Amino acid sequence: MTNLNGVNWVFILLAIAGGFLPTIFWLWFWLHEDKKKPEPKRVIARTFIVGGFFVPIVFIIDHFFLPSNNLVTQISTAYKSNLTLSAIILVSLPLVALALIEELSKYLAARIGALRNINCDEPIDVMIYMITAALGFSAVENSLFLFSLLITSGPTYSSFLFTGNLRFLGATLLHTVTSATLGAFLGFAFYQKTWVKTIAWILGLATATTVHLFFNFFIITGGSQNVLPVLIGLWVATMFIIFIFEIIRRLNHRKTLPGSTNKVRVWQRW
């Protein structure tokens, strides 16, 4: 193990850059999609930062749901041992909790950062802020992952960059897709009554958690053999999210609920 005093500071800078630069690129991409009525930069920045602050919170909470430090090994062993489906599901239940915690955390980050802000006044804004919170979360998570890789194994430049690219293609895409999915559900329900929004939130959270769960499960059980199929699936999901993004962006933002005189209040009933 490399001692902290002997850490190459170039790797530390690379860890930060590897975590933040790809997510900033994705953030620029999504904001560019909504360039006709851009969101305030201060609200975007705040939501991004709040998303990052949730990473250590999730890390602490996760430890209460992990039955042991060998969860990945247990799930992989159970899958390869041809156990019954019920046994595999039982062993994998902590993955459900972990996926749900992360999706809830990113939603809360978006809610704290922007969703109840007066600038969140259109359906597409919800999706933008959900993605922003997810990218902030992913930036810090990826940086910490790359930094831990540095401390534990002292990787070479080639392995460091390879791992960073996998995090960019895998974890960053996953967080973006799942949070955008929940944001899409909320966007479609933006002008609806409170009970419709509640149902949309539940369905969106369940869908995002399921996608997150399957990603983790297939990576754990398939290892390197499943990396390419899972990444292809995530890219397909990203293309679908872009399509949904365009649909929500075209929704009539002037529509309000019966008796409502301020469209912002429609969302703030959450």
Average pLDDT over residues 176-196: 94
Residue 82's region, left for phi above 0, alpha for psi from -120 to 50, else beta, is left
Residues whose CB falls within 8 Å of the CB of residue 214, separated by 6 or more in sequence, listed in order: none
Q: What is the pLDDT of residues 133-142, one digit of tens each?
A: 999 999 998 8
pTM across the whole model = 0.83
What pLDDT does residue 92 have?
Answer: 73
What pLDDT does residue 64 have?
Answer: 73
* Strands annotated E in 87-180: none
Q: Where are the domains of the chain?
A: 4-250
Higher pLDDT, residue 184 or 3:
184
What pLDDT does residue 223 have?
Answer: 61
Distance between CA atoms of residues 52 and 44, nearest Å? 13
